[in-house]
Amino acid sequence: MHVCNHASHRNPLHCILPPYMLEEIAQNGTPDMQAQASATLAMTKMMTNQRIAAARGEFPAGAAAPKAPSPGKHRYVYTANHGTNLPGTLVRSEGDAPCGDAAVDEAYDGAGATYDLYWDAYQRASIDNANMVINSTVHYSNNYDNAFWNGLQMVYGDGDGQLFNRFTIAIDVMGHELTHGVTQYEANLTYSNQPGALNESMSDVFGSLVKQRSLNQDARSADWIIGEGLFTANVHGVGIRSMKAPGTAYDDPVLGKDPQPDHMSKYVNTVNDNGGVHINSGIPNKAFYLIAYELGGYAWEKAGKIWYVALSDRLNSTSKFQDAANVTHAVAGELYGTNSLEQQAVKNGWAGVGITIGASGSGCLAALISAFRPNASARK
């Protein structure tokens, strides 16, 4: 069984739960858990087909690409009322007071915190950098165990209550998924193998920065857990991934063990999970953590700025880990000076996961080419 990787590598449905986690539940869970996992898999396959149609400009009934209104923040939160029609019934609009529905209000606040990070730290005007409306739908289906970006909007399930809480409970999950939208409009990293793992890692990086900024945490006091609070008390784990210590986030009889490597020597070669996009993302995740920790202070200010410039101006759809290392090292030099503490931290961080700046292979050439990525400025 698969989830969130039925679409083409160019038009994927980006879900927060990796396929192997739901497959473990379908195999190891109670009959109720198995049934819910199977239902989630089936529902996600349906949504994936809609994602492919949206990429062709064929939107489902009632759906449309969010228009660019006047400058500023524009959030709309809908409820699917446990159905599957999107976007659903509008519940809260920009400027409205909290409505008392936790999922609605969390989706509203999470979209706002993500917008604020990108605008305040990087002067990016919403997902597409052109004031795109941020639409979110909550209460999707019944006990749906996932959250996803479908190319147009955010969708959140309520969780099954046995293994997962509502998917709006973790602000970094919302930042993660919305960042898939940013990547879609920028480097558009192909969703397979190393480019796909970079795609997932970018979402983890900026999702974590949304969380850290909302909590006013510096790099050394943050927990670097993705999805804290998402698990119920029945699960042996702290979150779905750890950027600080990939492979240690959970070890549970039903969910299995966190399979993420933290070093290139442990890179997982697999045909599952689109070539391990949720698995091997642990390697660039750990590199970013090491860099942010060495620099100290607020991670979104320096390390995050380096990553944002790389994502928005330098990386391209086929960039691999070595390319990302070379590009971020070059960007750090441009922003903070050659041989600066910041550039040295980038070098050290990548070295910490087994990647040497400027190593042989496609890295150097790809870095040079990606610096002149076509249409980069046209999308600004």
Supply the pLDDT for residue 151: 85
d(Cα 337, Cα 342) in Å, to the nearest integer? 8
CB under 8 Å to 110, separation ≥6 — which residues?
A: 136, 168, 171, 173, 174, 175, 210
Contact in structure between 4 and 147 (CB atoms under 8 Å): no
Tokens describing residue 362: 């496609």
Supply the pLDDT for residue 47: 62
pLDDT digits (tens, 9 = 90+) for 223-264: 999 999 999 999 999 999 999 999 999 999 999 999 999 999
pLDDT band for position 16 (cuts 50, 70, 90): confident
* Residue 213 clears pLDDT 70, i.e. is over it: yes
Query: How many residues does the structure list for the chain?
Result: 380
CATH number of 59-185: 3.10.170.10
pLDDT more than 90, % of the chain: 75
Give me the catalytic one of 176, 180, 278, 329. Answer: 278
pLDDT digits (tens, 9 = 90+) for 167-186: 999 999 999 999 999 999 99
Compute CA 377 distance to the chain's CA centroid, rounded to the nearest angstrom.
23
CB under 8 Å to 285, separation ≥6 — which residues?
A: 201, 204, 205, 241, 243, 246, 260
d(Cα 31, Cα 18) in Å, to the nearest integer? 21
* Residue 271 clears pLDDT 70, i.e. is over it: yes
301 has catalytic annotation: no
Model confidence, pTM? 0.89
Concatenated DSSP letters of 137-203: EES-TTT---EEE-SS-EEE----SSSB--TTS-HHHHHHHHHHHHHHHTT---SSHHHHHHHHHHH
d(Cα 330, Cα 310) in Å, to the nearest integer? 9
Domain boundaries, the chain: 59-185, 193-379
Q: What are the residues facing 164 on neighbouring strands?
A: 231
* Residue 371 clears pLDDT 80, i.e. is over it: no
Contact in structure between 192 and 31 (CB atoms under 8 Å): no
d(Cα 26, Cα 41) in Å, to the nearest integer? 9
Classify each residue of 341-367 as buried b or exposed e, where b means 16 or more C-beta atoms within 10 Å of its C-beta: ebbbbbbebbebbbbebeeeeebbebb
Greater model confidence, 360 or 120: 120
d(Cα 45, Cα 18) in Å, to the nearest integer? 14
* Residue 11 clears pLDDT 60, i.e. is over it: no
Q: Indicate the average pLDDT of the chain.
A: 88
Contact in structure between 189 and 317 (CB atoms under 8 Å): yes
Helices 193-215, 102-122: crossing angle, 10 deg rounding: 100
d(Cα 145, Cα 143) in Å, to the nearest integer? 6
Give me the catalytic one of 23, 24, 106, 177. Answer: 177
pLDDT band for position 375 (cuts 50, 70, 90): very low
Residues 319-346 have a mean pLDDT of 98
Reported for 309-312, long-range contacts at CB under 8 A and 24+ positions apart, including other chains, are 309/335, 311/182, 311/183, 311/186, 311/187, 311/202, 312/122, 312/124, 312/182, 312/186, 312/187, 312/376, 312/380
Give the DSSP letter of residue 242. E
Compute CA 186 distance to the chain's CA centroid, rounded to the nearest angstrom.
14
23 has catalytic annotation: no
Supply the pLDDT for residue 56: 46
User: So what CATH class is 193-379?
Assistant: mainly alpha
Strand 147-149 relative to strand 14-15, pairing: antiparallel
* Interior angle at CA 279, CA 227 and CA 253, nearest 5: 65
Tokens describing residue 161: 């209550």
* Residue 118 clears pLDDT 80, i.e. is over it: yes
pLDDT digits (tens, 9 = 90+) for 75-91: 999 999 999 899 999 99
Residues 300-329 have a mean pLDDT of 98
Q: What are the residues facing 77 on neighbouring strands?
A: 92, 136
For tokens 């320096």, what's the residue? 302
Supply the pLDDT for residue 3: 35
